[in-house]
Amino acid sequence: MAADDQRSGGPTAVVPVLDIGPYLRGEAGAAERTAAQLRSALEEIGFFFIVGHDVPWSMVEAVYQQARRLHALDEAAKEAILMSNERGGYLHLGGGTSYASAIAGAVRKPNLNAAFFAHRGGYRHGNQWPALDGFEATVEAYIDAMSSLSQRLLPLYARSLGLAEDYFAPFFDEPSVTLRLSHYPVVDHEDEQWGLAPHTDSTVMTLLPANDVPGLWIRPEGHEWIEPPPLPNSFLVNSGDILRRWTNDRYLSTAHRVMNQSGTDRYAMPFFFGARDDALIEALPTCVDAEHPPLHEPITFGDYQRWFRNRNYAQYTDQQAGAVAP
């Protein structure tokens, strides 16, 4: 790693840990306390761990196993389910390049990971599933569980912004979600090449389950690149570009990158949770005033996602996107 890289001293050294168990159980005062912690995390870091969630860890492990099965298929089987502009599916090793974010720098090289995308909601029309017994059912059950958890986090986000607890409900009655099952093999990297180049996420929130194999680095404002330490049975949560725009840049969309230097295959399962396709994203009423005018033009959630997707995966979507974010 570069000289500016450093390891954090523990889970709470930089990235805060939120125990959401009391909130999920409805304990008195827990919503207010947890919302305040969330606000601090997203204003200062852009990432936080959650523990005390109710997603069975056996379910997480089952999806990790399905990811290993999927990526172990022969090339012909994976070629048969290639992703497209409107359908989820397989992305080749090196099939994406991080054009949508200026953070990647001037040199743009293909990202050295392969992935399978499973979508629900939004502008996409279904998924292409591999011929693996139990794969689709296991993945769909996990998407159900993660969608439920994400929905129950939304009132915390609203509270943290001084909004009514149900403020976001109309925007997420038909959420746009994506599960990405990524494989970072043991391969040689050229200079300025990554498993996943420095970037920010495009959506509202990302939930990443704990991983036994390291490789993720984040760069919160005011810090150099740091590697969040492992925290068993946790999810690492970060905000994305849509939440940054929605909060008028009050909440961060923090850069992160991946490099697998472990000597063994690495698998990762980020779950991206977003609003309904036609949700209009404009500065929230509690995030604008005379001193803080709106910084971004309104845009629908779906239009921003299409720009992001076509910018990074043009060879799969058959679409070209402008270099400048809408």
pLDDT value of residue 124: 79
Q: What angle in degrees, to the nearest 10, is found between the helix axes of 135-160 and 30-44?
A: 90
Q: Which residues contact 170 (CB under 8 A, 6 or more apart)?
A: none
Phi, psi at residue 259, to the nearest 5°? -140, 120
Alpha-helical (H) ranges within the chain are 21-24, 30-44, 57-71, 75-79, 135-160, 241-246, 301-312, 314-317
- The type of residue at 151 is Q
pLDDT digit string, tens, across residues 115-149: 999 999 988 778 999 999 999 999 999 999 999 99
CA 245 – CA 231 distance, rounded (Å):
30
Share of the chain above pLDDT 90, in %: 77
pLDDT value of residue 213: 97
pLDDT value of residue 322: 52
pLDDT digit string, tens, across residues 204-235: 999 999 999 999 999 998 899 999 999 999 99
Which residue's structure tokens are 């850069």? 255
pTM above 0.85, yes or no: yes
pLDDT value of residue 95: 83
CA 226 – CA 49 distance, rounded (Å):
15
pLDDT value of residue 134: 98
pLDDT value of residue 89: 96
CA 23 – CA 76 distance, rounded (Å):
47
* pLDDT category of residue 82 using cuts at 50, 70 and 90: very high
Nearest partner of 311 among 324, 299, 297, 294, judged by Cα = 324
pLDDT digit string, tens, across residues 20-61: 999 999 999 999 999 999 999 999 999 999 999 999 999 999
Residue 308 vs residue 73, higher pLDDT? 73
pLDDT value of residue 85: 81
Share of the chain above pLDDT 70, in %: 88
Both tokens assigned to 87: 């359908």
Across-strand partners of 117?
180
- pLDDT at residue 103 tops 80: no
Rounded to the nearest 10°, the torsion over CA 301, 304, 306, 312 is: -140
CA 237 – CA 48 distance, rounded (Å):
5
Q: Are 177 and 79 in contact (CB under 8 A)?
A: no
- pLDDT at residue 111 tops 50: yes
Q: Give Cα separations from 204 to 42, 152, 296 (angstroms).
A: 12, 14, 16
Instruction: Please report, for the chain, the start and end positions of each structural domain, with discontinuous segments joined by +.
Output: 56-217+239-317
pLDDT value of residue 324: 46
pLDDT value of residue 107: 55
Which residue's structure tokens are 């990647």? 104
Nearest partner of 271 among 203, 218, 195, judged by Cα = 203
Q: SS3 for 123?
A: coil
pLDDT value of residue 315: 55
Nearest partner of 146 among 237, 35, 25, 251, judged by Cα = 237
- pLDDT at residue 11 tops 50: no
pLDDT digit string, tens, across residues 260-272: 999 999 999 999 9
- Fold (CATH) for 56-217+239-317: Jelly Rolls (2.60.120)
Q: What angle in degrees, to the nearest 10, is found between the helix axes of 135-160 and 57-71?
A: 130
pLDDT value of residue 9: 45
* pLDDT category of residue 70 using cuts at 50, 70 and 90: very high
pLDDT digit string, tens, across residues 159-207: 999 999 999 999 999 999 999 999 999 998 888 789 998 999 999 999 9
DSSP 228: P
CB count in 10 Å sphere of residue 144: 12
CA 98 – CA 152 distance, rounded (Å):
31
- Rg of the chain over all Cα atoms, to the nearest angstrom: 19
Pairing of strands 114-120, 205-209: unpaired
Residue 98: CA count within 13 A, CB half-sphere = 25
